[in-house]
Amino acid sequence: MDDITPVLNLEDRQVRAAAYLRVSTEDQDPDLQRRAIAAWAETCGADVEWFEEKVSAAAKVRPRYEQMLVGLRGGLYAAVVCWRFDRAARSATELLALAAECDRHEAKFISLTEGVDTTTVSGELLLTIHGAFARAERRILSERVKAGMASAKARGKHLGRKQTVVRVEEARKLLAAGSSFRKVARALKVGRATLTRALEA
């Protein structure tokens, strides 16, 4: 992939906006995102530094995203712009965290597709509403999980990790016959720590 993004330079005080683009696979092209952000930059006269990467939403590490945050925390950007919420954030919680990070460093958060622009009152309102829905969704999910666990417990269902059954008498016979602790654990298909606890009990 041709990297259109320059190396982040913390000495470059001309950079005013950070544009984050993401696609999930190598065969996808972020051109639609790039053109939309370029049009926005031309309209408002912003100088843009591009942060582009091809990683899935499930990826734990996003190097270019982290690099963008370094610049944001260093005071380089007046705004962070993305094409759509799910390009920059993988969950509502992460989206709100990014918006809060922008606010903490006096930068605006802009998502073109959703029309969120925290430079405007309506943009801040939309983000607040989105956050309220996200919190409500988490609360509903939490309540459902608790209700499910209570129901399972009432039916006598065991919750948590399945307990490993250790054939203690067999283990003692093998040990008495001269087998090593390691061999006994392997023969019974249990961990050495599990076998130790079972024998001590």
**In whole angstroms, how far apart are CA 35 and each of 15, 21, 40, 163?**
19, 11, 9, 56
pLDDT computed for residue 51 by the predictor: 96
With 0-12 / 13-18 / 19 or more C-beta atoms within 10 angstroms meaning exposed / middle / buried, residue 132 is exposed
pLDDT in tens, 6-61: 333 334 444 589 999 999 887 788 899 999 999 999 888 889 999 999 888 777 88
- Which has the closest alpha carbon to 21: 44, 45, 55? 55
* Alpha carbons 97 and 146: distance in angstroms, whole number: 26
* Alpha carbons 22 and 31: distance in angstroms, whole number: 10
Query: Is 111 an active-site residue?
Result: no
pLDDT computed for residue 81 by the predictor: 94
pLDDT in tens, 102-150: 989 989 899 898 878 776 677 666 777 766 666 666 677 778 878 877 7
**Which of these is catalytic: 24, 142, 151, 180?**
24
pLDDT computed for residue 69 by the predictor: 95
